Amino acid sequence: MKLLEYGYQFLKNKLNHSNFCIWGYDCYKNETRFIYGCDHQQAEPPKFSDFSLDEYGYKIIKQQSSVTLRFYYERGFQIDVCIFQESIPLTKEEVKYVFNLMRVFDLEQTIQLKTQEMETMVDSLRSITSSLHLDQVLENIIRNALKVIPAADAGYLMLYDPDEEKLISKAPVGFNDLIYQFKVKVGESITGKVFEDGKGRIFNSRQELFEEMHTHNISDENLAYINRSAHYTEGAICVPISIEEERIGVMIIHQWKIKRNLTEHDLNLLQGFAGQAAVAIQNARFHTETNDKLQEITALSKKLTIKNTQLEKRQEVHETLMNISIRNRGIKVLVHELKNMMNRTVLLFNGLDNTFYCPTPGENPYFSMFEMKTIFSKKRQASHVKVGGESDKTFYLYPIYNGDVFLGCLIIQIDDSLSKSDQITLEQGSSILALELVKRQTITTLYNRKAYEKFQELLMYEDPAHLMKLGKEFDLNPSSYWMISILEIPKRAVDVHYLDIVIYQLISKINKEFPSLEKLVYGFYNKIFLLISLPGPAEANHIKDKLDGIRDEWESSDNPMFRGGMSNAYRGLESIKKCYEEANKTLDYVDQLASTGIIRYEDIGLNRLFLNQSTEEIEQFINETFSPLSTANEKHKELEKTLFTYIELNRSANKTAEHLHIHINTLYQRLKKIEDVLRVDLRDNEDLLEIQLACHLKKSKMTTIGI
């Protein structure tokens, strides 16, 4: 069954005989797509609305004869479920469930977008090396940039002219010829400021654009040229163009109408095209200088040969590795190909799985996972590291990042300096490996979504025959003992942008610790769900010991802390719902304690009776019981201590007097005073039970806050 079909089937079951249809909206292509419809009532395509990424979620739109569920996803995609009846037949939780089931449309569109971006970038690189005509190459780059960022409508480059001491407009797409009159000084307007400080900028409103232009003192003449050369502009991205350390110009794309907000991802893509533009400009300048200065033909020819060799090497490496990646031959094949290209010992540390890839079987990685993460915890630059032993070895460590996230590191054994060819191979290899690692993470996200749907289906089984079918389908033995553990990383313990990677790493570690057990494990937001089969209930202690060991090792490596709740073990897959409830209740209890540990349901003891009570209600009960003793009066504090000790020592007068170092008659006098102050009779079973319960709850509260 396809992933989206789970959503169709769920809606069919819930809506009974009501007709409905589903539409999807691709914000990047500004396209509406019909996905599914019952019978003939497909209705007209809906008009999807613009929204901010902060509005991620859903809303319900009620009309005269239909109800529409509109889902907004964080990447900008939208889905409409139009139900042809006057009222919504779904609960709030069921709407949320449908929202998560339909998220697969968002993920599919994102993967397609990433694939299209990758293919367009490869085509762009080919276009650079296919021509040395500067204007043609620059126009190709702008057109390719607009293909990768379809939210943009037009663009141009500006190159710095040292004779005029101004930036000059080049290769416009979507502008009239007046744009060639637009020339700015360094620091003037947006383009001049980006050229000056080398920092890319994003604008998502016309007001932002014009405020920034005026902030950096755009001349009236230039303002008139830019306004008359283009449509009504509502958004833009501007990035610098540099050759090594020298800035030579800027690239800017415009958005006539806001289709969606321009993002940091768009900025990074445009910066990549700016780097390609720099290479093209450099080649074209070499070509022009060769034609203009025949007397320097020999020297310039050598330079061009070197540069072209490097470009050819870069293209050769890029295409070879990209073909391996596109054919899904795996990370090991990529690392082995890098080893052959460089003719050196090359290893890869995968920072997502915390594993090493060694092309040669039995190869010593020379470094530990902890050492890798320590080396790059505070720096991003490649490093030379010498490893001592019987014979010293020197390694070149080349880190791989996705934005600010450390994905891994290439480890190259060297005896001399790296050649330019090797540097190009490393540069291209690290880029392809970064794409491969990010792709793996995306695939894992899809797996987690599918596992979540499997788990939800198990929880919602209606009859034993259906459960047996699901168990067989998911390869789970219905007659085994089963238990559930829910592990949670607190929301504030890790940046939300890195949460998926942290969850991915923790799941990998759990899978390594439980390689042979029958289980279902998946991540969902900041939680990991582990459904695991056991030979018998006694094995639950072994599972807890294993999870405690994982937690200790995990947190000792400076990873964010996690806590967990475990259910009891029960025979039969039909007990999964009970296991799930127990694990959730236990996790709630751990949260109330502000604990970082892993607790089993059976270890909660008496406190499980109060799991559904709010903290305020419990505190109110304690205060109402002990308020007469809760004063600044020292005698009352003494009475309170006496009462707690008496209850804790099981109402043994002798033990209580001995523990408090008082005479037993003094104890009896205090107990009588306590009964008078609290208006209770400690010989009355009901009064005694109330006092014992209040003492237990207050002790638990004091333990929670660390008193």
Residues 478 and 561: their CA atoms lie apart, in Å, by 34
Confidence of residue 633 (pLDDT cuts 50, 70, 90): low
Is pTM beyond 0.85 here? no
Confidence of residue 642 (pLDDT cuts 50, 70, 90): confident
Backbone torsions φ then ψ of 94, nearest 5 degrees: -70, -35
Q: What are the extents of the domains in the chain? A: 3-99, 131-292, 328-420, 461-605, 615-704
On average, the pLDDT of the chain sits at: 78
* Greatest mean pLDDT among 5-19, 310-324, 548-562, 684-698: 548-562
Q: What pLDDT, on a 0 to 100 scale, did the predictor assign at position 703?
A: 46
CATH code for the structural domain at 131-292: 3.30.450.40
- 615-704: CATH topology: Arc Repressor Mutant, subunit A (1.10.10)
What count of Cα atoms within 13 Å lies in the side-chain half-sphere of residue 633? 10
131-292 and 461-605 have identical folds:
no
Residues 229 and 231: their CA atoms lie apart, in Å, by 7
Alpha-helix residue ranges (DSSP H) falling in 533-633: 539-556, 576-592, 615-626
CATH 3.40.1620 correct for 328-420: no
Whether 67 contacts 46, CB under 8 Å: no
Contacts (Cβ under 8 Å, ≥6 apart) of 167: 158, 159, 160, 161, 183, 184, 185, 186, 191, 192, 195, 249, 250
- Residue with the bigger pLDDT between 487 and 244: it is 487
- 461-605: CATH topology: Alpha-Beta Plaits (3.30.70)
Confidence of residue 705 (pLDDT cuts 50, 70, 90): very low
Which DSSP letter does residue 102 get? T
Note the Cα 62 to chain centre separation in Å.
34
Q: What pLDDT, on a 0 to 100 scale, did the predictor assign at position 193?
A: 94
Q: How many CB atoms lie within 10 A of CB 567?
A: 26
pLDDT in tens, 120-175: 666 655 655 555 667 777 777 788 778 778 788 899 999 999 999 999 998 899 99
Whether 490 contacts 537, CB under 8 Å: no
Average pLDDT over residues 418-424: 81
End-to-end Cα spacing for the chain: 55
pLDDT in tens, 578-628: 888 888 888 887 777 666 788 888 777 666 555 555 666 667 767 767 777
The first and second tokens of residue 298, run together, are 């020999």
3-state secondary structure 418-441: CCHHHHHHHHHHHHHHHHHHHHHH
pLDDT at 646 over 60: yes
